[in-house]
Structure formats: structure tokens, C-alpha cells
Structure 1
Amino acid sequence: MSYIVHGATGAQGSPVLSALRAAGEHAVAAVRTAANVPGDAVAVDLADPDSLAAAYTGADGVFVHLPMSTHDQGGAQAEAIAAAVGAARPKRVVVSTSGAVVDRPGSPLQLPESAPVAVLIRGVTATGVPTSVVAPRLYLENLLVPVIADSVRKEGVLRYPLPADLPVSWSSHLDVAEAAVRLLTGTGGTGTVAIGHLPGLTGTDLAAAFAEHLGREVRYEAITPEAFGELITPLFGPGAAAPVVGAYRAMNARSANTIGEENSAQKLLGLVPRPLARWLGDLGV
């Protein structure tokens, strides 16, 4: 059996690739330049359906997520991926929403139907190929970005663009990978699986976990989405940073950003997110 993993050198795809290989599965990294990746890899162009279909043909499963990009770029990639799935017809597809909310219809946080991730899910599902969606909320690894982590280490202050008491279903990339592998290997069914802590974790909870792990005082400090945008723009560019700022503005206007129990990984797959202490220890922070 073989599995194609997009973004295999990045934060989302790498844990999926590693978990599949650790389970003894044949996992192939789908990347721009295959020669730069150890192990089996295939070169693909996310905007080229023929390139993608060649990689997907004969695959038992495909793990895919859209990289940070502009709306137009993401939309073109979504359409190309869906076309490739329809042409190559791998046995299964698992799509990660990368934190976008797609499973709470009626919520102000629900992704618009025109958003690239929504286009991707709709297009791949329409092919009839068995499709699962993993839907995390916020990644704990966001807290390890240097502009965030440096202030924790140097000042004992965890700064983030959310109120200190806002509950969020945080999860690790490792939690998402565990669910994705379960779904890719055909033991978890289809549909949308929400990933994250229940009940949600607050900023105060996060700071307390860092304090315990580091053995020093760490306090939480809420910053504005705009201030956060200024911090991340040098890392991701203004085009990619702008929708992130917009998403945090929307979250600031809500009382929570948590998953529903009915479609949680806890209920559907029997998978519980890593406790904060274990997550910090696993990553050697």
C-alpha cells in the first residue's frame, strides 16, 4: 500500500509522513523538488492537475492541505487537486482544514463557501472517492513561532491575539497526524472529524502549562489581531498574514472557539489530544 502526503517537509505534513512510516506503511512525500527530500518522494505542482494525477494514480490514500497563499492561488490549487482526485481515483483522501472552521454551520466562524478550503472539500467529495476531513481549530505549535516563544523564554510573557479567558480547542500537529493516519488507513470512516481539547483551553491555561514546564513564572497577555499581524507579516508576507488577522478578529468577537463533541476525534476515533505537559515534553521545548 502507498500513501501520498502533501506538505511532507512542513509542519502539517511531516508528522503524517513520519507516523505512516513508523506504522510500516509506504508513504511518499509530495513536494516541489523530490531530490531534496530523504526517502520516497514525488515532485508535484499544486496548480497542475496532470502533475497531481500522476502522483495519485494507484495510491491507497492521499493526505492534502492547502499552503498559506492568496485567495486566488488557493482556489486554483483546490480545483487542481479535486480534478486530479477525480482523474486518478486514489482509494481514499484526507483533507486537513488547517484550522478553518467547516463543521459549525450557522456560526460566524464558519468558513464561507467560496473559501479555497471549502472549494477543496466540496470538489474532492464530489468525485465520489471516500473522503474524510480533519478539522482542528488552533495549533499549539503556533505558540512556538519565534515571535511568540521568544517572549515566553526571555520575559515570561505569553502574548497571543485572544482574550485570556476564551476557551479554544487547541491541538497539536501530532494530534492531527494521529487522526489523519487512522482515517487514511481506512479504520475511521468518512466525513468530518473535529480535532482539539474538550473543554477548550484558555490563554491562562496555556501560560500555566508553560510555567510548569519551564519551572518559572509565565503570564498570559492578550494582544490585538493587528499587533499579531505586524509580528507575522515578516514571516509569511502581507498576502498570507491578512486572512490570519481577519480570522483572529472574528474569534475575538466570540465567546469560544471549540469543537463539537458529536463529531470530535474523542467520540468518532477514540483519540484524545495530548495534554499540554506531554506536548511540551514530546517536542523538547
Structure 2
Amino acid sequence: MSYVIHGATGAQGAPVVSALAAAGKPTVALTRNADAVVDRAHVVAADYSSTAELAEAYRGAEGVFVHLPLGAEEDRRRYARNVAAAVREARPSRVVISTSGADGSSRQDPTGSAVSTLISGLDDSGVSYAVIAPRLFLENLLLPPVIEAAREQGALRYPLRADFPVSWASHLDIADVAAALFDRPDVTGVVAVGQYPAITGPDLAEAFSARLGRDVAYEAITPAAFGESIAPLIGEGAAAGVAGLYQALGALQDNAIAPEGSAQKLLGVTPRTTSQWLADVGL
């Protein structure tokens, strides 16, 4: 039986395909493009908007990895309902979802949100599932406005206070945890993924300094300024949403995981340090 991976050509799904394939597990890459080529995976075209296509892809699967695509929240809620309906119909052995950054709590995923809709639907399905809940992705630091300033100006600019601790995680960490969860059906519910203890902006800058071989200092910028810098890359609407996220984070004391519900505690999987991640992505 195979493992079905949503977004298999994207930032989160591709590492999951690689991790499972490296373990010798057959994988099915779900994409909207039937002509896509995914190394070591069988490609199947399926769309979040079609419950029938999803159910056909899930049928007989040992595991399904799901993360909802970016977009309007109403569209994401519809996709969540379709995924849940397909799971109820096809009944794969195990489902693992990633919240893609929210913590899986009602604070960040209030009732009616796309993520909470998906979790509720899986609850009702009776199928074994687990939720991967990262905080912020280290890959955000590779956005051109961020990495270019670090390389060229020695300034790591990001829209968080310098003293704001974050349990950063990599897409590679998500893949490691997803693979572990497929092998551990006894672990259910929310699994927090990220560095613990959490680290601050100056801690990030120290790792970048060592990797780049030059002094890099952390500089906190406003969420609005960050949104403006990434708007040419992802569009004004999406950039405004990102700016709103960091504005909301600014009202909190931290964005750290709790150790008792962490991948470290529940699975024995320790996320990469920033230095390890920088080496792994070849920066």
C-alpha cells in the first residue's frame, strides 16, 4: 500500500515524498498537473475541489499527508470539507496533516477556520490521524528580501521583536515527523514541531554569521514593512495576510511549543538547529 502526498511538488510535500521514498515506501504524488514529474513517486492528478478525485486517490492508501493550500479562507474551508469527506469514503489507514504554522489550538484556529474544519472532519471520520503543528518556518528566512540583506548588508531583518522567542522548524523537520507518525499510529492528536527551547532573532543572526562567514546582526522591522518587501513575490493580498499574522504575533509573549506535546517528547524526533538547517539547505 502506498502513501499519498498532497502538494508533492511544493515546499512541504516534496520533502515528505523524499523522506518516505528514502525509507523504501511507495509514494503517490498528488498534483493538479498530470504531466508533473516527481522523483521516486507515482504522479496522480487530483484537485482539492473534487471529493471524488480525492477519494479515488486515497482508496487503499496506507497513509495520506495533507496540508491546505494558500488562498481565500472560504476556499480552504471547502477543500477541508472535501478532504474529510474523501477520507470518510475511502478510509485510508492513517492521515497526517500539517497546520502549516498555526498551533492547532482554538486561539489560532477558531471554530470555523479551514484547519479546524479539517480536524473536526477527521474526528468524525473514525480514521486514525495526527496533526503536525509547527510555528514559523526557517525557510521564511530564505525569502529574497531577507537572505539578500543578510548576505549583502549583514542585517537579518524580520518582523519580530529581538527578544521574541520562537520554536522555529524546517520543512525538512515536518517531513521527518510525518514519516515518524505514519509508523506510529499510537500517537494521535496534535504534535508540536519546533526548536525547544525557543530562540530569538539574535540567536538566528548568530547562526547566519557563522554560516556566511561575516557579521550578521538582527534587526526587527515592522510587519507592514515586511509585507511591502514580499508583496512583489507573493502578491499584495497574500502579503497583507502575512503582515497581519506578524502583527498578531507581536501581541504575544512568544511563539514557542510546549515540550510535553512536542515531537521530541512524543516521537523522539528532534528538529534541526538553525545551523544544521543552514547546512542542510546548502546556504
User: 2: distance between equivalents of 1:215 and 1:187?
Assistant: 44
**What residue in structure 2 maps to residue 40 of structure 1?**
42
**What residue in structure 1 maps to residue 147 of structure 2?**
149
Residue 62 of structure 2, aligned match among 56, 60, 63: 60
What amino acid sits opposite 2:123 in the alignment?
T
Residue 193 of structure 2, aligned match among 190, 195, 201: 195
Measured after TM superposition, the shift of residue 247 of structure 1 is: 1.4
User: 1: distance between equivalents of 2:32 and 2:85?
Assistant: 19
Question: TM-score, length-normalised on structure 1?
Answer: 0.95
User: 2: distance between equivalents of 1:111 and 1:267?
Assistant: 23
CA deviation string 1:241-264 (max 9, x = no partner): 333222111111111110111100
What amino acid sits opposite 1:210 in the alignment?
F
Aligned partner of residue 253 in structure 2, secondary structure:
coil
Correspondence 1:154-165 to 2 at 5 A:
154-165=152-163
CA deviation string 1:73-122 (max 9, x = no partner): 1111111111111111100000100001214x5xxx53212211111111
**What residue in structure 2 maps to residue 206 of structure 1?**
204
User: 2: distance between equivalents of 1:81 and 1:100?
Assistant: 19
**What residue in structure 2 maps to residue 219 of structure 1?**
217
Tell me if 1:27 matches 2:35.
no
What amino acid sits opposite 1:225 in the alignment?
P
Aligned partner of residue 257 in structure 1, secondary structure:
coil
Q: Relative to 1, partners in 2 of residues 1:273 and 1:267: Cα closer, same or farther, differing over 3 Å? A: same
Correspondence 1:92-241 to 2 at 5 A:
92-103=94-105, 109-186=107-184, 189-241=187-239
Question: TM-score, length-normalised on structure 2?
Answer: 0.96
User: 1: distance between equivalents of 2:260 and 2:110?
Assistant: 22
User: 2: distance between equivalents of 1:225 and 1:120?
Assistant: 29
User: 2: distance between equivalents of 1:24 and 1:240?
Assistant: 37
Measured after TM superposition, the shift of residue 208 of structure 1 is: 0.5
What amino acid sits opposite 1:69 in the alignment?
G
Residue 74 of structure 1, aligned match among 63, 72, 76: 76
Residues 61, 185 of structure 1: 8 Å contact kept: no
User: 1: distance between equivalents of 2:100 and 2:186?
Assistant: 19
Q: Which runs of 5+ in 1 are unaligned?
A: none
What amino acid sits opposite 2:93 in the alignment?
K
Residues 5, 65 of structure 2: 8 Å contact kept: yes
What amino acid sits opposite 1:41 in the alignment?
V
Correspondence 1:82-97 to 2 at 5 A:
82-97=84-99
Tell me if 1:247 matches 2:245.
yes
- Which one is further off, 184-193 or 18-27? 184-193
What amino acid sits opposite 2:70 in the alignment?
M
Identity rate, percent: 54
What amino acid sits opposite 2:278 in the alignment?
L
RMSD after superposition: 1.2
User: 2: distance between equivalents of 1:238 and 1:89?
Assistant: 39
Measured after TM superposition, the shift of residue 233 of structure 1 is: 2.1
User: 1: distance between equivalents of 2:244 and 2:55?
Assistant: 34
What amino acid sits opposite 2:95 in the alignment?
V
What amino acid sits opposite 2:91 in the alignment?
R
CA deviation string 1:194-246 (max 9, x = no partner): 00011101000000100011110001111111111112222222333333222
User: 2: distance between equivalents of 1:115 and 1:233?
Assistant: 24
What amino acid sits opposite 2:274 in the alignment?
L
Residues 87, 122 of structure 2: 8 Å contact kept: yes
What amino acid sits opposite 1:199 in the alignment?
P
Q: How many residues are paired up?
A: 281
Residues 65, 96 of structure 1: 8 Å contact kept: yes
